[in-house]
Amino acid sequence: MNLCSPPQASGRPWTPSQGRIIAQWGMRLPPIVRCRPPMALPRGLASSLDFAKVKTEDEFLATLSGAEAAGVLPGDVARIWRDFYFSYKEAVLGSGRPEATEALVVEVQASIAERVLVDMADPYTFPSYHERVLAPYNYFEFGQRYAGALIDFQNSVVGHLERWDGVEAQIEAGHNVVLLANHQTEADPAVFAHMLGATHPRLAQDVIYVAGDRVVTDAMCKPFSMGRNLFCVHSKKHMDDVPELREEKMANNRRTLAVMARKMNAGGLLMWIAPSGGRDRPDDAGAWRPAPFDAASVEICRKLATRSKAPGHLYPMAMLSWGMMPPPKTTSKALGERRITNYSGVGVSLCEELELGDTAGQNGSAEGLAGLAEARVVEEYNRLVAAVGDPRARGTMPECVQPWLRTAVGV
């Protein structure tokens, strides 16, 4: 038995749709599987910092402190992590799930710490296109495990399954599909995969995310990013954080665009991009709504879709996930933000496809196309807010469904 591989069924890798659904729990999560390559640490020190041996909260916190004292884990990261641990513990234990135990919290947190230390010992540099890593360590299941414990599946929804059916058919026909989505948490890729895993596992796993600087450089983000297919770019919001690196960042973006174009010429690609350039933030009154779409980003997607050798399609998509991992209220240049977690309902819903022609958007303008995409996302987002937040409202919205619960009762 390969201890670095996930459970298998019928010779095929485990997928979210194969997990049994428990009505109180939501989706059954795969067991954490650890693979421990040698770490570049002094003899005798590596064994004392082996998070794979951690079984209790006291052991986890002691090992974390040992890593800090040894200089293996920077002090600022260790301080943030302690806060993160207790926030995650409160969210998971407060869920009321049968499997929501302190042992589960420790296991998940220890697996994250192990992956962070492995990367610190042998840092991974993300290329323009990164293909998710499934062996010898399955980073995809690692990310799904962490996020799944925070999702209230009883109060989560996926919208317009018939539209997702259409997207899947387009991709199977060799077309390209670009999702123009709002973005709310670092865990959005895991949310997307959990919401679609029961009905559209291929879309849930094969999607390629357009990823900015932070998720491929922040120490606590990198292991989760390694489990996703990524096109790596530098966001406009952070292009000038270090002025002397601006030209290098722009050159990297050009290389990534070239890779995107080649892959879209081959066809059959599903790409997820947040045209706002970052996560949504609350307004002054504390209300959350999708951030404005950048017209230039939408126009680039339109050009990629229409100039490709394979037919292309653009779909706006709404995501509701901020309650699970609310980002800081303001953006910051510094890496290492505080992680707050909650047990929360989430939602994903696909809007109607945008009509693309030789000109860009309404009245031939890039701004018109971006405005139309944003308006559709806001409209669908408001539906998600109602469906996730109020079971009675959800009962009047047949487009918002919970396929994982249907699986639970054998429908």
Distance CA 259, CA 127 (A): 10
Distance set, CA 73 to CA 41, 116, 215, 279 (Å): 12, 9, 18, 27
Sign for the CA dihedral angle at 295, 297, 301, 306 comes to positive
CA distance 22 to 71: 43
* From 58, 76, 83, 122, active-site residue: 122
Distance CA 163, CA 402 (A): 15
C-alpha distances out from residue 23 to 28, 155, 157, 237, Å: 10, 11, 14, 41
Distance CA 223, CA 143 (A): 8
CA distance 351 to 266: 25
152 is catalytic: no
Distance CA 371, CA 362 (A): 9
Q: 120: which 2 tokens?
A: 């610190």
3-state SS, 67-134, equals: HHHCCCCCHHHHHHHHHHHHHHHHHHHCCCCCCCCHHHHHHHHHHHHHHHHHHHHCCCCCCCEECCCC
Q: In 3D, which of 112, 137, 5 has the Cα closest to residue 51?
A: 112
Q: Enumerate the active-site residues.
A: 122
